[in-house]
Structure 1
Amino acid sequence: MKYDGIIFDLDGTLWSTIESCVKSIAEVKSKHKEITREITEKEVISSMGLPFDEIVQIYYSYLEKDKAEKFAKEAFEKNIENLMQNGGTLYDNMTNIIKELSKYSSLYIVSNCIEGYIESFLRSSNLSKYFKDYESNGRTGLSKGENIKLIIERNNIKNAIYVGDTISDKIAADYAKIPFVFASYGFGNVEQYDYKIDSISEITKIMKN
Structure 2
Amino acid sequence: MFNDSVHNVPSGFAEIQQASEAMGFSMPSDLQTGALLQTLVAAKPEARVLEIGTGTGLATAWLLAGMDADSSLISIDTAAYYQAVANQVLGSDARLTLVCDDAGTYLERYDAAPFDLIFADAWPGKYSHLDAALGTLATGGLYVIDDMLPQPNWPDGHGDNVDRLVADLESRSDLSLVRLAWSTGILIAVKKERSA
Q: TM-score range by the shorter chain?
A: 0.3 to 0.5
Q: Kindly indicate which of the two structures has a greater share of residues assigned to strand.
A: 2
Max radius of gyration: which structure?
1
Q: Kindly indicate which of the two structures has a greater share of residues assigned to helix.
A: 1
